Chain A
């Protein structure tokens, strides 16, 4: 019993690590722009499909695939930022978000056009046997995923707290009006925040696809849903909240799936979000959401 609980906790943390990265990406964009980018998941999918294409046609190495995924995601993110968010800055949030959904449709169709099969194999991070710690099983690639997520968070922390760019980002999140007055080049910061968020998402996407060993067009929707869910659970607009929300979501999912099955797993996650939102729990609803 205890062994099951610990195993589920471990599995939940590893899934939670990718959710945390996704949530961080969403939160960066939301914190600075006050809008949700519905194309975030699909732009990650774009990057992952670029890597799949490279794998299918050239058999690229793992590191190269990771780089391609991140670059693809950043490129897609820039496209989305230019078309959906830059034109509506200071304007209609709904228009921006619906436009980002429109681009989601574009990415999905593009993926099915260039890579028409529903499922493609993706080279796995690690093909060997999982490690055993007593009664617990730990997959090596899960460990790699946790380590990579940790490294990405550390890199993000360094960017936000040790660079001028990071200072500008934090200023925009905390005091948007004052930051603009202080002369920060807001559009420039926005673009770079998008790139940063997309890069984080690309890392998350690569890790997920490489640990599952396969990719489908559902990746876009999946990443968007999990990222949004985790971001909201941890408290909209808070970076530490995003990490906590992601890990919490992973844990909640792993445990409910064990005791109640996969359908109830999703049901519980959505129910939790709905109840927390309806109760207007203060940590969740303090930031204005345009």
Chain B
């Protein structure tokens, strides 16, 4: 059978006829433009916008702590156990330190640990998830098993025990311990998404046209998972903030660092509630809540980006 096609080649779209934008992929834009576009899209989502504003404020407080805090956070020169006064707006600790200044400086540790541990955990999760999802077979099974194992061991008890064993007294110990226990959730999610994408036509065609593995992963698969990776990051960061605070509260961190968790640790040790230092308990806790809420709100926006059904109307 001979087939003759009488169809002329398609004209380029004219004035009245425009191609409606398809659901195809776009080339990976430069990272800065990409970030700008991501921020703008997030900004348009009401919840994410609120989250960005609060997070921004906390970051500003952390960066400008020396300017914003009226006193040094570690100076023990004030009257201990005093309530809010003109000098010490939020009162003092049992060691005579100014609570408000501690609160301001504490933002630094919480941000660094939260975002840092979140980033490390996400990095590990993405790496392992990509490998597991892309190479089915023994590698996938083994990694999957390890991930499941990591999920079965409850995070906080493991963190507590690791921190107790390590007896490390630096912030970085905490970051590592927290990251070590929170990569698994993200890895699982990324693995399943990679696995789904791997069988899609655009990946198959890239592989057939001879693209190297690394290129396929970074140019075809990863760009389609950005919102998933971002969501993983914000989830991990939220959990990390809570974990860090919990560890500090239990006295497993360095008691000399100034963080919101350590303020609460001393509050508990010094029975702050009984001595009337209710701000010492209330303020750092509220700060932790605000930081976590802001990250969660941003995550709402990221979720809406990846799943159009969740977008606000």
A and B interact physically: no
Residues of chain B whose beta carbon lies under 8 Å from any beta carbon of chain A: none
Residues of chain A whose beta carbon lies under 8 Å from any beta carbon of chain B: none
